[in-house]
Structure 1
Amino acid sequence: MGSGKELFIFVFLCLLETCISTCLHGFNQQNDQCIDVDECEEIPNICGDYTKCFNTNGSYYCQCLKGFKNIRGDTNFTGLDGQCQDINECLVPNKCGHGAYCSNSIGSYNCTCNPGYTNDTGLSVGCVDVNECSKAEVQSEEICGAKGICKNSDGSYWCKCQEGSTNYGNERTPCSELDCNTFNTNILPTQSLGGLADILSMMRNSCLALSNPTTASEGKTDGEALLEKLFTATDTILTPDQLDSSEDVSGLLETVEDSIRVIGPQLKRNRTQIETKKTVAEIAVQRGKTRPMGPIYLSNENASLATDWLTAAGTGPYPGFAMAALLSYKNLEKSVNGSFGNLSGLKKDGVNPSFQIFSRVVSVVVSNPSTQNLSRPVNITLKHLGTEESSEVRYVCAFWDKNGVWSTDGCYQQASNTTHTVCTCEHLSSFAVLMARYPMTHTFGLQLMTKIGLILSLLCLIICILTFKFCRSIQGTRTTIHLHLCICLFMADLIFLAGISQTKPEGGCRFVAAMLHFFFLGLFTWMLLEGVQLYRMVVLVFNATMRPLYLYLTGYGVPLVIVIISAIIRPEGYGTKEHCWLSLNDGLIWSFFGPVCFIIVLNVFFFIVTVWKLAQKFTSLNPDLSKLHKIRAFTVTAIAQMCILGLMWVFGAFLFEEGPTVVAYIFTILNSLQGALVFVMHCLLSKQVRDEYAHFLSCICTPQKRYSDLSSTNPSSSQSQASRSGHNTGESHI
């Protein structure tokens, strides 16, 4: 389109010239002559873009260049009444001829041969078919594979697969040989899995249908439907939650992996996810004329896979297809939690660790036939089944080898935290994270302190038991409670000292764990009864004593019921590989810590009420100060006793979780202080008990004086003794 401003100036000058000149429009006056004006030269681009200007006598006209046309349809026009636009030649049917496609350009068009056609023959219009089969006679195996026959077609070709091979319906894909004998039920590693035979039979039928061109269309099953049948059958096998042998596990894993390799190429979607009660899987496929490239990332709630398409394809059956699958089993770890035969070389300080499966079992399947020699390693991130923060634990990346055991060859840990471990593996198989737990080795000093502390505690407890049993001046409900509290603590410490580390035989270790459970629960139960007694002494005032039968039923009956119920529900939870104590798995430990926490909370309530009532009685008008002072002393000792016992088991919980050595030292010190604490608070701090000790020692040290005192008939002495006896009897009612 021409310049509007220039055109306006030209018209204005022409009008002005007409007014002042006698020459007609399109002429200029020179020397009394009218000379034609060449508008095409005088005014640049007067016709606009894509045009050609023609001068005439006294005027001009415009024409569009080849490949353009006037928007008003006129062939000749001026800059005032037209402009040129591109003609789309490709709108003309078959513009480029057979086998070619047209692409428009400004003022022209281009013809390009379609894939499968060429213009090498020099034709002016059209392209001729390329005979791919003839062109690649030498490389025929690259076109259709060793088992395929190339058939040329107009602009393309297709591969006819011979019997025993298939291209899964992708006609321009090389034929790959199918070994249907892989799914032969006669070569099962074990005959114990009936469901495995069903899978093999189903996959063999599918394989035979694919490998027989005459029956492929009849027996072919949709890939998604076949995948669903596979995992339904797998769920049936895994329903008992535990397979009988490692051979069963190997047979199942191998069969599922081989089945996915056959099913994968039959899937229609590029991404397929399927989840059942026992499995979860994600399969990615990529198809194309060239080998696929780019990263692959597959994930589920238990694991994730990071690799690339070149690694997944490898020297696969044909270049235009690649597959990668991530399969996670939800309960298979129970069946493989003891196959650790090939894990030597993981000793630490000469000590072999104990192993435990600490993640779901995960299988990685790719179309690459050389999974034992990958071009580059793959990264597999596995989620832990729990948390373990102990420094005595190591996470190991392992795979399930052909011998039916866990192995670490070619797999190593790249990174790890409390929840996940990243494994880098140079080959593909089924994987899992193993937790190697190393037994905590105590130093000689700690072992010596444990024995000395517990022996000291046992000696103090023996003195306390004899005192509470035979010291008549302090007999009463509270003394009965202290007696049986000391008996429980004595038995618990004695069994702890003799049997906590005696893990063999297994039955004996379970018995030791049950006895420890019973006596430690009994210890806290009698401590609860002491809190109840103090509450009754302050609140009820009258009838504060408790019948011994009720005390025995509560003090020993409640722990016995808890131990019996726990042993019935989880008998395997008594005794571990490291200690004869309650297992930390499956929550059995809460059959001890639960009652202990409940007792401590309940005792805190009783002590708060007791202290509050004592404060009220001290401020009353006529308080019995001697009795109140004694109750206050009882309360203080009971609170101190509860604090020491409760604090000890706070550290005890960390000790049995493989805590650091300092925790073991603190637990040992507090454990040894228990007997000494009871002896100091309930014996040495009691004036009545001290008097009894002094009287007992005086009888032993001065037997003659004891004889003369007993034979004395001094009435005043007898009266004084009777008076003292009555006083002591009065105290025993508190």
Structure 2
Amino acid sequence: MRSGCLRLLHGLLCVLLSLSRAGAWDFQPCAPGCPLYSECVNATACRCKPGFASTSTEIFTNLLEICDEVDECKQNPRICKGRSTCTNTQGSYTCQCLPGFELNPEDPRLCIDVDECSSGQHQCHQSAICTNTLGSYQCHCRPGWEPISGRHHGWNSIICKVKPLFTWPLPPGVHSQSLSHFTDKVNNLHKDVKPIQAKDTIQGIVQEVDELLETPGDLETLPPSQKHCMATHLLTGLESALTHLSRALPEGTATFNYSAGTQVSLEVQKKGICNVTFSLNQAKMQLNWNKAQESCYKGPSVVGLVSTPGMAKLLAEAPLVLEPEKQVAPHGTHKDLLPRVSPILLSDVISAFLSSNDTQNLSSPVTFTFFHPPVTLAPRHKVFCVFWDHSQNGSHWTTAGCRTVSTGGGSTTCHCTHLSSFAVLMAHYHMQDDDPVLSIITCVGLGVSLLCLVLAALTFLLCRAIQNTSTSLHLQLSLCLLLAHLLFLTAIDRTQHKVLCVVTAGALHYLYLASFTWMLLEGLFLFLTARNLTVLSSSSRNRLMRRLMFPVGYGVPATIVAVSAAARPHLYGTPARCWLNSEQGFVWGFLGPACAISCVNLVFFLMTLWILKSKLSSINREVSTLQNTRMLTFKAMAHLFILGCTWCLGVLQVGPMAPIMAYLFTIVNSLQGVFIFLVYCLLSQQVREQYRTWLKRIRKRTAEPESYTLSSKAVSDAS
């Protein structure tokens, strides 16, 4: 039995030794009796588990030590991040998020906001709009809507209805049974309207407007002023109703047609494309979608176009008010073109509206194309793009903010910088009666100037004693003014042939600009002459002028006219005169260079006077030099008066002094040729001597036949 026990003990030791060699048994002695919430380190020491701590050291040997729980939330108050709270647990902690937040999957200590609107966790009614907030959301009504029940914020649901902003009360001072019946039916349509009924409500309102315009009843018996008031009432009310109701429509395009011809085209989008085009039977609109979007509103944006041909019954005899337009032609022919009181309505009345609040000052114009019956414009007829203005000064058509781009072939294109109700009108012009005194002064003055310019040109060509660079300048100036005055007298009023009128306006533009350019060269030459007065040789100055004369004198005005004609060829010629049209500031294609040259000539004049003053006060008192200096002084003063000041009077024809300035401008400017002949011919000693020589030759030639006749008679008597 003893041997059996030994064999059993020996076998057990072999098993333990094999397990130890195999690594299956690692025996490490551990301290017995470690306290609660601790673990042994070795045979004699213990330490507290994670989440617990001893009152002494981390590793202890005293078996009576106590491991207390650690409160991580108090120990590190910021251990949980974001909108969360820390909760202590047995040996650990947890982070709990506030309502409206959730734990970040990547960081369990961080809470992030929950977007209830995008995730569908909100309780907003379908008639309201959900807006996410930090930790919550808000339910609110669209602009133009109001809540029926509930609160405007939090997670409580609210139900919205359209505000009664488009109720149409009877306009003051208008008494009509048809209008009263219409108002009652429209006001009943929007009571307790729900978003799903917005389309039906729109159709009902437009249907009522269409029926009223088709059968206006006693509205046709109202005075014109009350009819215009009714038109304003219907146009503004319809625009307001459609603007607010269409926001409840689903995204997309909707078009409605009615029996009297009324058409409505709407488009609702959240993110609009760059450009949109609306097409109706008689009109088309093109605009950039960004104009329809409101920066403070995240709901859908709306663009709409309404055509109401029946509105023409109420807008008959409506007045047209034009922006101030003055047609100014040379020589004092100052005309005001005024339309008659009753223009002709060519197109349907269309109304354009946006969900955006600011539609009166658009950053870029909106393009409208109106389709109407083809018209042949008679003389003094013009087509206008207009809008219906219902300001405090009364309702009327006006062209403010709208520009007629093109017309013809049964369509008219307009650019407008605001939105309202638009149409195309044709107005018949009448001109104010001409002042007969101004007409007589113009004809007589230009006639005398033409004669003087012909004599001056012949003098500059035939008088060899005065032929030099200065004479060449005088000759070119005289020729340009001669042709301009002749063309003005013969063709300025011939507006019957449009092409011929355009050519005449372009030729006058060129000739008058060329005259101004030669005036500038005259001033430059006078300045150079005064500066080089004491220099014996002036060949370099003459060579410079000969090189500059013709390229500058005829090339600069040709360039200006070419650019003007290429930019706006349709603005050559007006209904009254074959001259530049004042629309879009086109007349400044002539006034701008003219004013600039006048200012430069004034500078040359002042510089010339300064140089001459120093020469007059110099010690050198030679008679010839003094005489030349005085003559240059006189020419400089005459040059400024003749060539610069006369045209300044034309620009000053404004205000109460306009009639006086018109007379002065007409008298002085029509006598330019007389002044040129007087200064450069009659007051020149060399020219006067040449005239005497020519007169002596003429007398001698006339005297020779007379003497021959007398001698022949005497011989015959003697015989």
TM-score normalised by structure 2 residue count: 0.45
Greater relative contact order (Cα 8 A, min sep 6): structure 1 or 2? 2
TM-score normalised by structure 1 residue count: 0.44
